[in-house]
A and B are shown apart, each in its own frame.
Chain A
Amino acid sequence: MTPFVDIAFLSFFIMATKFKPEEPVKVETPNSVSSDILKEENAILMTIDVDGKVFLNISAPNDKKKEKILQIINGINTSRNLNLTDAEKVNFLSAPIVGVPFQSLKQYLQIPNDQQGKVKQPGIPVLDTLNNELIWWVDEAKKAFAGGKLLYLIKGDNKSKFPSFEAVINALRRNEVFKYNLITAQEGAPEGTELYFDRLNN
């Protein structure tokens, strides 16, 4: 019996282990009674950390990933005159997360990918309404993923203040995006409320 049990456990755990992705930016998300599961799709993730700094991460299912993301960085390169080299653009493809203003982008993309997670980034400037850099990023992403479905995800920290969140929403609104998803942790419906009874009956 013993060898059988050993093999069963080991095989199961070896196949089921998925490493938690290293989060360079630690964010504690608020709870919500929403129960829509996050689907694995083309998504642009905007993270707001506790100090209100905004970070960007673009993900796509693997086959389309390279071309779309290259398209985005090419667009940013042309529209903002950044003079990025091809090596730096390739670096962008596997960068864990981006949170630097355009002027520092070239420098950031010169750092090798595995060390980018440890760099303390100042965040994408959004608070200045005249120079909300997120508008450009979302614009390029929209163009690259045009014709397909692109999820706009916002992951904010509990303690971040409203102005950053408002700036992110403004950036999306300027790009005519009105539907987005906020990433939250699951919470049950409070007892005795309408939602509670709704869920009981369904």
Chain B
Amino acid sequence: MASIEGGGDGGSHKKGPGVKKAKKLSTRVDMTPMVDLGFLLITFFIFTATLNSPTTMDLNMPKDTNKEEEQTKAKQSGALTIMLGKNDNVYYYEGELGPAGENFKTTNFKGIRDEIIKKKKAVIASYVTNAACETKAREKGKADPRKDCVDEDFVVVIKPTPNATYKNTVDILDEMTINNVRRFAMVKIAESERELITATEGP
């Protein structure tokens, strides 16, 4: 780039003692750091923009059917029912609800993850080899058919109450993904359960 030599060769003239010539200071600024930062910022914002794009969560619901054969049979021993109340309250019980509600427990969103993990481990530990399931898995070409079937009986049933928020529902569905729960369903809450919840948290 062409540049004009400003104060460069002023020193060769000797004007005689006493006359001082002010040295012209160079006014050129080095642009390289600014360009570097500029490109860095562009790259940074491009990355954050792609990270911010909305993501979706797949939700598949079972078909509404009254036929007995088509209804998925959930083994009671592997069933965990989670109910969502108001103010981010979470209630749960294992298997079937006892007549006096003795197995009805309360927790919150942080605690429910531990419960899910605990129940899943218990179901896996008490796994009795299910020949039908393992043959199917072997036919599909899975490397470890047993691993595929150990949590076959583990089902989580989610029952939100009318006071539960959308965020609660999405959070619980998230917990299914986080803990790799393969079988879960969202169904209507039963009268008996609703009464228990109203008794616990008030109207």
Residue-wise, chain A 186-200 has the 8 Å CB interface mask toward B (1 for contact) of 110110011110100
- B166:A181 contact, CB within 8 angstroms: no
How many positions in chain B have a CB within 8 Å of any CB in the partner chain?
40
* B75 shortest CB reach to chain A, Å: 22
- B55:A162 contact, CB within 8 angstroms: no
How many positions in chain A have a CB within 8 Å of any CB in the partner chain?
48
Q: Which of B35, B63, B166 sits near A159, CB closer than 8 Å?
A: B166
Residue-wise, chain A 21-35 has the 8 Å CB interface mask toward B (1 for contact) of 000000001111111
CA distance A111 to B84 in the complex (A): 41
CA distance A194 to B147 in the complex (A): 14
Tell me whether A186 and B51 are in contact in the complex, defined as CB-CB below 8 angstroms, given that A162-B160, A178-B63 are known contacts.
Answer: yes
CA distance A156 to B168 in the complex (A): 12
CA distance A158 to B113 in the complex (A): 20
- A157:B166 contact, CB within 8 angstroms: yes
Query: Does B13 lie at the interface of the complex (its beta carbon under 8 Å from any beta carbon of A)?
Result: no
Query: Does A82 lie at the interface of the complex (its beta carbon under 8 Å from any beta carbon of B)?
Result: no
CA distance A159 to B163 in the complex (A): 10
Residue-wise, chain B 55-67 has the 8 Å CB interface mask toward A (1 for contact) of 1111111111000
Binds B, one of A1-9, A60-68, A83-91, A137-145: A1-9
- A158:B57 contact, CB within 8 angstroms: no
Query: Does A70 lie at the interface of the complex (its beta carbon under 8 Å from any beta carbon of B)?
Result: no
Which residues of chain A have C-beta atoms less than 8 A from B58's C-beta? 34, 36, 179, 181
* B41 shortest CB reach to chain A, Å: 10
CA distance A154 to B55 in the complex (A): 12
User: Nearest CB to that of B62 among chain A residues?
Assistant: A178
CA distance A190 to B180 in the complex (A): 13
Tell me whether A34 and B56 are in contact in the complex, defined as CB-CB below 8 angstroms, given that A159-B166, A160-B165 are known contacts.
Answer: yes
